[in-house]
A and B are shown apart, each in its own frame.
Chain A
Amino acid sequence: MTYCVIGCGGIGGQLAPVLCRYLQSLGGDDEKTVLFVDGDSYQSRNADRQEFHRQGNKADVITERMRVMFPSLTIESKSFYVTESNLFLVVRDGDTVFSCVDNHKTRKRISDHCKTLNNIVFISGGNEYSDGNVQVYIRENGEEKTPSITYLHPEIEYPGDLSPDEMSCEELLRGGEAQLIITNFLVAGWMLSVFWLIDSGRNMPYSEQYFDMATGSTRAVMRNVKEVLDIRSCL
């Protein structure tokens, strides 16, 4: 079984050690592979939210660290940004995918690829400054068990942002907006709670989870595919 973590920044970096520890604790004879994917590099400015023992490509650095901590797992890295042309190398039929990326363009790419597979668990997380959400897309034997992450989310279906591979060096160096490590941590935690529900064979009672630190609220919702007038009108 392969567990693919796409994006090794604020969310992915917090998700990684907990995911690996959980997988190692399961034991068993089946080989468990964790694949980290990111084209970005750790820089000193990342240290306010992200843990790393050296600068360098995020996927490579986190893989080094996880291999030391969790020797019973097979841990691999791919040091590139995912694109339409390389996603087939990253996400394969039967995988579990954790999308921890920081742009909707890449979420849309992963979502489109997952729709072409027969069996996939795709868990996508994202946050603003003090709130966030987690979505889950499950396909079993070619059949959708939950709606796509683009359903009711025109901002993902028609992304207005750029993926990192489309950005100039200046845009990449400029970095993103301010984020809270605590919000990243909560997204990672909810993504893992979704994974635990699925991995332990429970019924998935929701397809989307929202939280808001400012009000202390969380809400889970199971989206049902119904007629949507025109989601582009909401862009």
Chain B
Amino acid sequence: MATVRIICGANAQELEYSEGLTPRQLHDRLRDVMNIPDKAQYFVTGSQIDPDTPLEPGQQLEFVRPAGVKG
């Protein structure tokens, strides 16, 4: 089964790949489950991508989480 790996901050998940799946769709779908902030940046294998670029099987998508503010 082809998968994609999704990361946000400390959290990571493997999801079954489906054709045409985009970072923006995953952002909407996983917002609550993975605590993804609204203003996340989208990175695939270390490079920033457009949120509407479809993912490919086996890719790793990171929603870069903003740094903590408080201390």
Q: Which residues of A contact B (CB under 8 A)?
A: 7, 9-12, 100-104, 107, 124-128, 131-133, 135, 149, 152-156, 161, 176-177, 179, 184, 187, 210-212, 214-215, 217-219, 224, 226-229, 231, 234-235
A39 to B69, CA, bound (A): 18
Could you give 26 example pairs across A and B, Cβ below 8 Å? A10-B71, A103-B69, A104-B69, A126-B70, A127-B69, A128-B69, A128-B70, A131-B68, A132-B68, A133-B9, A133-B65, A152-B43, A153-B66, A153-B67, A210-B9, A212-B9, A212-B35, A215-B10, A215-B11, A217-B11, A227-B47, A227-B48, A228-B48, A229-B48, A231-B41, A235-B39
CB atoms of A218 and B71 under 8 A apart: no
CB atoms of A176 and B70 under 8 A apart: yes
Known pairs A104-B67, A127-B70; list 18 more (Cβ under 8 Å): A102-B70, A125-B68, A126-B68, A126-B69, A133-B65, A133-B67, A149-B67, A152-B43, A153-B64, A153-B66, A155-B39, A155-B69, A215-B11, A218-B10, A219-B11, A227-B48, A234-B41, A235-B39
Q: Which residues of B contact A (CB under 8 A)?
A: 7, 9-12, 35, 39-41, 43, 46-48, 64-71
Q: In the assembled complex, which residues on chain B have CB atoms less than 8 Å from the CB atom of A126?
A: 67-71
From B10, B43, B66, B71, give the contact of A217 (CB < 8 A): B10
From A107, A227, A234, give the contact of B40 (CB < 8 A): A234
A184 to B71, CA, bound (A): 6
CB atoms of B35 and A131 under 8 A apart: yes
Q: In the assembled complex, which residues on chain B have CB atoms less than 8 Å from the CB atom of A127?
A: 68-71
Q: In the assembled complex, which residues on chain A have CB atoms less than 8 Å from the CB atom of B11?
A: 212, 215, 217, 219
CB atoms of A102 and B69 under 8 A apart: yes
Q: In the assembled complex, which residues on chain B have CB atoms less than 8 Å from the CB atom of A215?
A: 10-11, 35
CB atoms of A155 and B71 under 8 A apart: no
A197 to B9, CA, bound (A): 22
Interface centre among A149, A152, A153, A154 (most CB of B within 10 A): A152
CB atoms of A212 and B70 under 8 A apart: no
From B9, B10, B48, B67, give the contact of A155 (CB < 8 A): B67
CB atoms of B68 and A133 under 8 A apart: yes
- Assess A125 versus B71: contact at CB under 8 Å? Given A215-B11, A224-B46: yes
Q: In the assembled complex, which residues on chain A have CB atoms less than 8 Å from the CB atom of B65?
A: 133, 210
CB atoms of A219 and B10 under 8 A apart: yes
Min distance, Cβ B35 to any Cβ of chain A, angstroms: 7
CB atoms of B41 and A226 under 8 A apart: no
B33, closest chain A residue (CB): A215
A104 to B70, CA, bound (A): 9
Min distance, Cβ A202 to any Cβ of chain B, angstroms: 22
Min distance, Cβ A176 to any Cβ of chain B, angstroms: 6
